[in-house]
Amino acid sequence: MTTYDANGVTLEQVREYVWEIPQDGEMRVPARVLASESLLDEISDDKTLEQLQNTTHLPGITDYAICMPDGHQGYGFPVGGVGAMDAENGCISPGAVGYDINCGVRMMTTNLTYDDVRGHERELVDSLFANVPSGLGGGGIVEAGIDTIDEILARGVDWALEHGYAVEDDLRHCEDEGVREEADPAMVSQKAKDRGKNQIGSLGSGNHFLEVQRVTDVFDDEVGAAFGLTADQIVVLIHCGSRGLGHQTCNDYLRKIEQHHQGLLDQLPDKELAAAPAGSQLAEEYYAAMNAAINFAWVNRQLIMHRTREVFERVFDRSWQDMEMELLYDVAHNIAKKETHTVGAASHSADAASGAEPRADETERELYVHRKGATRAFPAGHPEVPAAYRDVGQPVIIPGSMGAGSYVLRGGEASMDLTFGSTAHGAGRLMSRTQAKDEYWGGDVQEELESDHQIYVKAQSGATVAEEAPGVYKDVDEVVRVSDALGIGDKVARTFPVCNIKG
């Protein structure tokens, strides 16, 4: 058996790209890392494996704690982590969702080609930067009172539709049609609402961005056609989340859980995994508040898309309808959802190559599926895939760095068995933000991207550009190659940046 040793943790290779930390001591389940050896070398550079192993101690966790190919160290639960906890006897963990609830991505297609945009790049990036709020703190497309905030938290993108910021097709091409019905605005604190009320329709800072891209490759013509993607086409990618409202909501419930469920915390190897027992009052309240923050994030990205349509209209002197600026899909990657899965299926599928027999204890169970820096990737035929894509599979959007390509995948046939219907969410960081600022100078990065790659970047500060320099991230091509090889997310198309704005 092939093994891999890193930082005192031994992984055993189950099959190609599947590595297991065997169940030992107080671990409730084994842990699995989905990676090539080159990605595993990078994943093992920080505390990712230790955090993944700690995750196996959470009550009710089923089958495996899983780390995606883009995994890296996070708060308690690794970024790129997936954990499915029994919804009746398990728990829900804010740390396993993340502070930026429903951080996610959406892609908008157009009928423009790269030639249509050439010569307009500087005007386009300047206009997008001037019209799409970004950076730390306040400033949004809409500033709202408490009644409006509560409506957004309860109704999601349906609120945007009523107020003219969306069309019906936008809802049909969004995960959950842009609303989580289980949301309860009353479970979101006033402090969180105050932080969010002037940030509706804003990118924020850090790794959040709006990027105009061109499609360089279509790997699957049939699925590409279903997604409306063709070579040399211009698309727009938006990456952001729930801003200060989501961050405050996560922080509020972490503190409440620490106060009320100290006994459970004492059983865990890391208090950052703070969790509320399934069925407890705090579990129900957090789930309702998290779903409200999810709705807020969907509205946030919808308003940015609305403003982007307006910018394109001014720059190209055509209506957005004439340019066919349509939402391909919006998918979350910091989220927990109640989903029904076959428990035990992951174990059987991963070992199938060695001739394992189906497990007698495979059962359908409702689970809290936590995806932190991981993307839902449901295959063709799944009832929760939007009708427009049900025959080909759910669109999955994997952003790369500013100097690398991004990818559109479709949910793979093996995803339900291997990963509870999940795949990677991006390239994954190699460097901390502090290290990145020591290694790179923002102005130099901008000049190099423009001169060498014809990529136009505008940001609130040079530090932000340095933090997000291409060398800060893993190789997105390798992340996607592993996802495709495992059958959890199949390659459909690749894109490359034209211009990018950041906070």
Binding-site positions for GMP: 207-211, 333-334, 399-402, 406, 425-428, 502
Degrees, nearest 5: CA angle 326-331-332 = 145
Location of structure tokens 């086409």: 233
CA atoms within 13 A on the CB side of 137: 1
- 8 A C-beta contact, residue 87 and residue 59: no
Can you list the positions of beta strands (E) in 266-381?
Answer: 276-277, 326-332, 334-343, 363-372, 374-376
Q: Give me the phi and psi of 208, to 5 degrees please.
A: -80, 145
**Of the listed 261, 341, 370, 425, which one is catalytic?**
425
Handedness of CA 236, 468, 74, 1 (dihedral sign): positive
Degrees, nearest 5: CA angle 266-267-268 = 95
Bind-site residues for Mn(2+): 100, 208, 239, 333
Edge-first strand listing for the sheet containing 18-21: 3-6, 9-15, 18-21, 31-34, 65-72, 79-86, 363-372, 334-343
Reduce the DSSP state of residue 228 to 3 states and report it. coil
Bind-site residues: 100, 207-211, 239, 333-334, 399-402, 406, 425-428, 502
Task: Give the integer Cα–Cα distance in Å for 403 and 418.
Answer: 31
Amino acid at 249: T
Catalytic site includes residue 425: yes
Q: How far is CA 302 from CA 121, 215, 296, 421, 449, in A?
A: 23, 22, 10, 25, 28
Task: Give the integer Cα–Cα distance in Å for 483 and 393.
Answer: 15
To which H or E segment does residue 436 belong? helix 433-439
Task: Give the integer Cα–Cα distance in Å for 115 and 127.
Answer: 19
Reduce the DSSP state of residue 244 to 3 states and report it. helix
Would you tell me how many other CB atoms lie within 10 Å of the CB of residue 221?
13
Two structure tokens written together for 254: 């972490």
Task: Give the integer Cα–Cα distance in Å for 442 and 83.
Answer: 36
Residue among 438, 435, 439, 436 at smallest CA distance from 467: 436
| Total count of residues recorded for the chain | 503
Helix axes 281-316, 146-155, angle to 10 degrees: 100
Catalogue the active-site residues: 425
